[in-house]
Structures are given as C-alpha cells and as structure tokens.
C-alpha cells in the first residue's frame, strides 16, 4: 500500500461519527439517535439499538430532563415511546417538562409518548406490598414487556429504577430483575434508559445505588456536579457503552429552554 492509498483510506473513514483514534471498526451497530445536543457525538452516532443504559445521577443533575428529551426526540421521529414515572406523578412530570421547547403535548395526545405512573401499575398488578417477591418482580417485568409489545415501544425510560429496586429485598433479585428486563427489552428492539439516583458521583463513588446494576447493563452514563469555587456545574460522563467506541471525558451540561446542551468540560476546571 502506497502513501496515496493510506490517505484515501483515511479519507474514507471520515464519516460523521465513525472516526476514532484507533481507526474505523469493520462493523458498526445501528444507532438509536438520542437527538440530545452533543450526546450522539460523544457516543459516536448514538446508543446502539436495543441497549439498556443506566443513567445514574445526583439530585438536580438533569437525569429526568435528559431521559425525557431522549423519549420525546424518538416520538418526534414517529417512534412509540414509554416513560415510567416512579418518583413523581406523571401529571407533575409533564407540567415540569412543558417549559422546554422540545416538548409537545400533541405527542402525548397522539400516543407517541406514553407516560405511566408506576404507582398505578403497582395497584393494577396488585403489588401493594412494601417488599416484592420473585413472583412480583416477574409480574412487573411481564407487565412492562406487554406494554412494550402492545404499543410497539422503541424507546423506554424508567425513572427511577432506584425507587423500584428499594422494593426488591436483595441484590440477587435486583440483578435478576435488571438482567431479565434488559434482555427482554433488547429482544423487542427497545432502547432503554434506567434512571438511578446516586448520592455522589465522584471518582470513588458507585455508579448505581445498589452496586449491581452497573455490571449487568449495556451502558452507564453518570450525571453529577462539580463544585467550582462554590458554584455547582452539572456534568455528564459516559463510563461504559457496549457496542460502540465513545468519549470517556467529562462534559459540562447546561439545561437550556431547548433542553440539555453539552460541551467538553475545561480540563483545568475539573478539579478546582
């Protein structure tokens, strides 16, 4: 191969999201384009289809907005999407999200964005106990799967999986629940975000509340705050994403009226 061949090959690899320092992979999985400003670039094109992600973050870090924007952008492209609200009533959630210009109530009316209250789902399934058994967990997975199948959901969010896991008595059951849920959703071609609440997002922190979620799921995204001289700056970092190369740097996250925007965090400004 001569020098000109090398240059031509390099030229071929300059697709919008295919460049990596290691070159272009021979096979590239189809992507679920999130439409979130900057995120698809970080993920070299989007989330690999059918992946189940853990979106862990501290309170006020932008998890719900990010997750909502992910499903809304799917709905805008004509996909059927589902959002399971476990931390706040769906009415309150929708009222909060209406301030963002990316949101359009028409999507709810047209059935493209389906918001479910987990509390209602629990009552409907008869899961009114404080602690779930294995049978209860299976019933819940089946209920979610039935909804995905019936509506043809391609993007799903559970916000948050932490509140749900609090009802599951041990790590093994949590592991089984998440593994079964992730596997079932992947089989249906559904790309999912499981929102998790964590108390700190530093280098020594766990990426999840129970410490078992991160090993099972396909990807981990962490949202947190950096304290810069008394001011909290939101950031996002992709820790793991199976099936794609991705940036592992910290990105400053800003909540604008148009939703989440990301830019690389200043290297000299990360550890002030």
Considering the complex, what minimum distance in angstroms separates the CB of residue 68 from other proteins? 18
What 3-state class would DSSP assign to 183? helix
Per residue in 83-110, is it b (16+ CB within 10 Å) or e — as a string? Answer: bbbbbeebeebbeebeebebbbeebbee
Residue 240 near residue 219 (C-beta atoms within 8 A): yes
The yes or no reply on residue 10 touching other proteins (CB under 8 A) is: no
Which is closer to other proteins, CB of 38 or CB of 243? 38
Residue 236 bridge partners (DSSP): 223, 251
Which is closer to other proteins, CB of 76 or CB of 175? 76
Among 19, 117, 119, 254, binds other proteins (CB under 8 A): 254
C-alpha 269/C-alpha 44 separation (Å) is 25
Among 53, 66, 164, 233, binds other proteins (CB under 8 A): 233
Which is closer to other proteins, CB of 225 or CB of 245? 225
**Total binding residues for other proteins by CB under 8 A?**
19
C-alpha 45/C-alpha 34 separation (Å) is 9
C-alpha 241/C-alpha 257 separation (Å) is 28
Which is closer to other proteins, CB of 215 or CB of 266? 266
Token pair recorded at residue 151: 């509506």
Residue 55: partners with Cβ closer than 8 Å, 6 or more residues away: 63, 66, 67, 193, 194, 195, 196, 221, 223
Q: What are the two backbone dihedrals, phi and then psi, of residue 122, each rounded to the nearest 5 degrees? A: -60, -45
Considering the complex, what minimum distance in angstroms separates the CB of residue 144 from other proteins? 35
The yes or no reply on residue 19 touching other proteins (CB under 8 A) is: no
Considering the complex, what minimum distance in angstroms separates the CB of residue 268 from other proteins? 4
Which is closer to other proteins, CB of 118 or CB of 265? 265
Considering the complex, what minimum distance in angstroms separates the CB of residue 236 from other proteins? 12
| Residues 124, 128, 134, 137, CA torsion sign | positive
Considering the complex, what minimum distance in angstroms separates the CB of residue 229 from other proteins? 5
Among 28, 29, 228, 240, binds other proteins (CB under 8 A): 228
What DSSP assignment string belongs to 90-148? HHHHHHHHTTSTT--HHHHHTTSEEEEEHHHHHHHHT--SSS--HHHHHHHHHHHHHHH
Residue 145-184 contact track with other proteins, rule CB under 8 A, x = bound:
----------------------------------------
Considering the complex, what minimum distance in angstroms separates the CB of residue 57 from other proteins? 17
Q: Which of the ranges 9-17, 108-116, 146-154, 257-265 carries the binding residues for other proteins, by CB under 8 A?
A: 257-265
C-alpha 197/C-alpha 195 separation (Å) is 7
Which is closer to other proteins, CB of 168 or CB of 265? 265
The yes or no reply on residue 229 touching other proteins (CB under 8 A) is: yes
- Where do contacts with other proteins occur on this chain (CB under 8 A)? 228-229, 231, 233, 252, 254, 256-258, 261-269, 272
């Amino acid at each position: 191969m001569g020098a000109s061949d090398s240059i031509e090959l390099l030229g071929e690899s300059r697709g919008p999201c295919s460049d990596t320092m290691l070159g272009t992979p021979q096979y590239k999985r189809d992507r679920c384009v999130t439409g979130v400003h900057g995120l698809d670039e970080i993920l070299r094109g989007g989330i690999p289809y059918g992946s189940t992600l853990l979106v862990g973050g501290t309170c006020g870090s932008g998890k719900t907005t990010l997750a909502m924007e992910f499903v809304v952008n799917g709905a805008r492209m004509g996909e059927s999407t589902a959002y399971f609200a476990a931390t706040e009533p769906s009415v309150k959630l929708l009222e909060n999200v209406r301030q963002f210009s990316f949101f359009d109530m028409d999507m709810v009316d047209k059935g493209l964005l389906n918001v479910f209250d987990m509390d209602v789902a629990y009552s409907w399934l008869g899961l009114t106990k404080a602690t779930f058994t294995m049978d209860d967990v299976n019933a819940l997975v089946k209920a979610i799967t039935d909804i995905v199948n019936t509506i043809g959901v391609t993007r799903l969010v559970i916000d948050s999986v932490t509140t749900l896991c609090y009802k599951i008595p041990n790590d093994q059951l949590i592991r089984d629940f998440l593994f079964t849920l992730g596997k079932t959703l992947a089989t249906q071609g559904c790309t999912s975000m499981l929102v998790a609440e964590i108390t700190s997002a530093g280098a020594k922190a766990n990426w999840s509340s129970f410490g078992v979620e991160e090993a099972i799921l396909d990807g981990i995204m962490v949202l947190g705050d950096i304290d810069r001289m008394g001011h909290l700056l939101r950031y996002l970092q992709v820790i793991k994403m199976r099936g794609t190369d991705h940036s592992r740097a910290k990105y400053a996250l800003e909540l604008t009226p148009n939703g989440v925007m990301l830019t690389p965090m200043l290297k000299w400004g990360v550890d002030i």
